[in-house]
C-alpha cells in the first residue's frame, strides 16, 4: 500500500487546528488598533521641568508685585492716620479724603488687573503644556499601535479627604495593568525637550514635526 504523505500531513494539520494543538495564525499576531494605555495628567503637570520653571518664574514676579501692593497699602493707611489730626469737614480733610478715595479706587483696579493677568498667564502656560502632552501621547500611541489613551489619577486618595475620595469614586478606570501606564514615557519625552533650550514637544505651533516615539518595551 502506498501512503500519500501529502494527504496525511493535511489531515494532521486539520486535526491539530480543530483540537487546539496548533493556534490559528491570526491568534499569533496582535490585532491592530486594540491596545489601551493610561496616562496620569496630574503627575505630568507636577513633574514637568519646564512647567515647574514657568510657574516658579511667575511666582517670583507675583511676589515682587505683592510687595508693591503692600507698599501702596501702607501709604494709604498712613494718609488715613494723618486725617485723624484734621478737622472733619474742613477743606484739608475733604482734600485728603478725596486723595485717599482715588488711591483706593486705583489700588483695587490694579489688583483686579494683576489677578486677571496672572490667571490668563497661568491658563496660557497650562494650555501650552496640555498641547505638548497631547502631541507626545499621540506620538507614543502611533509608535506602539495604541488605539485609546485614557486619563487616570494613579495617586492613591487620602481617605480623610472627602474631595479626593469622591474623585477616586468617580474615575472611569477601576483597574488597569501597570504595564499600560505610559505616564513616565510621556514625562520623560517632555523633560527631554526641556533639556534642549528653545525646544518643545513636536506637533505644537511653530515647532518641527513629530519624531518617532519611544517603544513601550
Residue 22 lies in a domain: no
Position 209 scores a pLDDT of: 33
**Which residue is listed with cell 518617532?**
212
Tens-place pLDDT, residues 146-179: 999 998 887 766 777 777 677 777 777 777 788 8
Residue 171 lies in a domain: yes
Residue 168 lies in a domain: yes
Position 27 scores a pLDDT of: 30
Residue 61 lies in a domain: yes
The highest-confidence range among 8-22, 129-143, 149-163, by mean pLDDT, is 129-143
* Domain with 167 in it: 30-195
Convert 50-88 into a string of H (helix), E (strand) and C (coil): HHHHHHHHHHHHHHHHHHHHHHHHHHHHHHHHHHCCCCC
**Helix or strand or coil: residue 109?**
helix
The length of the chain in residues reads 217
Residue 17 lies in a domain: no
As given in the structure block, the three cell numbers for residue 123 are: 491658563
Q: For the residues 98-103, what does the mean pLDDT come to?
A: 93
Position 133 scores a pLDDT of: 94
Residue 216 lies in a domain: no
The highest-confidence range among 3-7, 15-19, 156-160, 204-208, by mean pLDDT, is 156-160
CATH code: domain of residue 56: 3.30.910.20
Residue 213 lies in a domain: no
Residue 165 lies in a domain: yes
Residue among 207, 215, 161, 162 nearest 185 (CA): 215
Write down the mean pLDDT value for the chain. Answer: 76
Query: How far apart (Å, rounded) are the C-alpha atoms in residues 187 and 46?
Result: 10
Position 215 scores a pLDDT of: 41
> How many domains does the chain contain in total?
1
Alpha helices in the chain (DSSP H): 5-19, 41-47, 49-83, 91-143, 162-169, 183-195
As given in the structure block, the three cell numbers for residue 109 are: 483696579
Would you say the C-alpha torsion 183, 185, 188, 189 has a positive or negative sign?
negative
Tens-place pLDDT, residues 27-48: 333 334 458 999 999 999 999 9
**Which residue is listed with cell 486725617?**
83
Amino acid at each position: 500500500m502506498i501512503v500519500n504523505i501529502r494527504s496525511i500531513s493535511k489531515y494532521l494539520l486539520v486535526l491539530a487546528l480543530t483540537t487546539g494543538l496548533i493556534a490559528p495564525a491570526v491568534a499569533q499576531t496582535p490585532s491592530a488598533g486594540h491596545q489601551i494605555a493610561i496616562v496620569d495628567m496630574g503627575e505630568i503637570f507636577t513633574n514637568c521641568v519646564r512647567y515647574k520653571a514657568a510657574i516658579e518664574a511667575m511666582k517670583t514676579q507675583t511676589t515682587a508685585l505683592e510687595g508693591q501692593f503692600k507698599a501702596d497699602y501702607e501709604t494709604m493707611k498712613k494718609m488715613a492716620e494723618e486725617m485723624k489730626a484734621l478737622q472733619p469737614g474742613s477743606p484739608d480733610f475733604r482734600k485728603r479724603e478725596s486723595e485717599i478715595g482715588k488711591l483706593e479706587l486705583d489700588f483695587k483696579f490694579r489688583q483686579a488687573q494683576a489677578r486677571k493677568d496672572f490667571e490668563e498667564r497661568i491658563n496660557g502656560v497650562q494650555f501650552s503644556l496640555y498641547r505638548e502632552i497631547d502631541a507626545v501621547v499621540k506620538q507614543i500611541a502611533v509608535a506602539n499601535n495604541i488605539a485609546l489613551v485614557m486619563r487616570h489619577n494613579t495617586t492613591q486618595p487620602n481617605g480623610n479627604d472627602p474631595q479626593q475620595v469622591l474623585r477616586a469614586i468617580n474615575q472611569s478606570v477601576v483597574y488597569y495593568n501597570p504595564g499600560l501606564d505610559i505616564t513616565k514615557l510621556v514625562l520623560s519625552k517632555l523633560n527631554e525637550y526641556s533639556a534642549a533650550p528653545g525646544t518643545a514637544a513636536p506637533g505644537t505651533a511653530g515647532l518641527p514635526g513629530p519624531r518617532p516615539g519611544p517603544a513601550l518595551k
